[in-house]
């Protein structure tokens, strides 16, 4: 039985991942978020939106309860996939600059750090941890400073988690998806004149992650920043 925890399961990408995995036999799925999703029976609900320490404690306590319910050893997860996040624009002169930065730090950095802590205790040796970055944030982002800063921090966290003595189990594989524009209904409504052929489909990402959880031979090198490049069809660029 493959056991996968998705952080951000209520979002468009998280929901697509859960739906894809749910169609496969032998998958046990759990979702972490502020609201439950009907796609899974195992929902970890976080109540403390503005208290990082309390939020982390809530997640760890509920993970331990799931482990107990399953009557498993401590390391019972095959994969932890973090696709929680959100976008905020603005530069240093923007009226809502500080508020926007605060939002993306909570959405991207907090969720990534909690995923790392969950993986340190509950991920099996040789298991998979996937975080979410952004290709645009590998360089300057003056039009979205807070978002660029938050995602760059996730990129650095990925490299650190893949290094020796990171606290992850032996043989763990860590990768960060550098996501551009996702082909979602909301994005199509918001950008109706865009070239949708350059947007990455949710099913492509879900299938990619399923293959990564299916065996080590299909994975990228641990610590990789994996850009999803789409122009008619999708491909990977690793750094």
Confidence at 229, pLDDT banded by 50, 70, 90:
confident
Strands (E), the chain: 2-7, 27-33, 42-45, 77-82, 123-133, 173-178, 224-231, 233-238
Instruction: Give the model's pLDDT for residue 132.
Output: 97
Domains of the chain as residue ranges with CATH? 2-238 (3.40.50.720)
Closest to 106 measured CA to CA, from 59, 144, 156, 51: 51
Question: What residues are labeled active site?
Answer: 147
pTM score of the predicted model: 0.95
Q: Give me the pLDDT at residue 217, please.
A: 74
pLDDT digits (tens, 9 = 90+) for 24-47: 988 999 999 999 999 999 999 999
Express each pLDDT in 144-171 by its tens digit.
999 999 999 999 999 999 999 999 999 9
CA pair distance 30, 9, nearest whole angstrom: 8
């Amino acid at each position: 039985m493959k056991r996968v925890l998705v952080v951000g399961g209520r979002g468009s990408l998280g929901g697509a991942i859960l739906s894809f995995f749910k169609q496969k036999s032998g998958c046990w799925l759990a979702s972490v978020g502020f609201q439950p999703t009907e796609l899974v029976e195992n929902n970890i609900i976080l109540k403390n939106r503005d208290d990082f320490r309390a939020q982390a404690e809530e997640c760890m306590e509920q993970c331990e309860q799931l482990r107990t319910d399953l009557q498993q050893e401590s390391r019972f997860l095959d994969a932890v996939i973090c696709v929680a996040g959100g976008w905020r624009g603005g530069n240093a002169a923007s009226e809502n600059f500080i508020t926007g930065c605060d939002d993306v730090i909570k959405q991207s950095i907090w969720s990534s750090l909690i995923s790392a802590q969950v993986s340190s205790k509950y991920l099996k040796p040789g298991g998979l941890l996937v975080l979410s970055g952004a290709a645009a944030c590998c360089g300057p982002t003056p039009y979205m400073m807070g978002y660029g800063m938050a995602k760059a921090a996730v990129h650095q966290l990925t490299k650190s988690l893949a290094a020796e003595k990171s606290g992850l189990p032996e043989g763990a594989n860590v990768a960060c998806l550098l996501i551009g524009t996702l082909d979602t209904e909301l994005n199509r409504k918001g950008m109706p004149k865009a070239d949708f052929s350059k947007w990455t489909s949710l099913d492509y990402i879900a299938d990619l992650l399923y293959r990564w959880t299916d065996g080590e031979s299909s994975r990228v090198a641990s610590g990789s920043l994996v850009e999803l490049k789409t122009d008619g069809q999708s491909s990977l660029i690793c750094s």
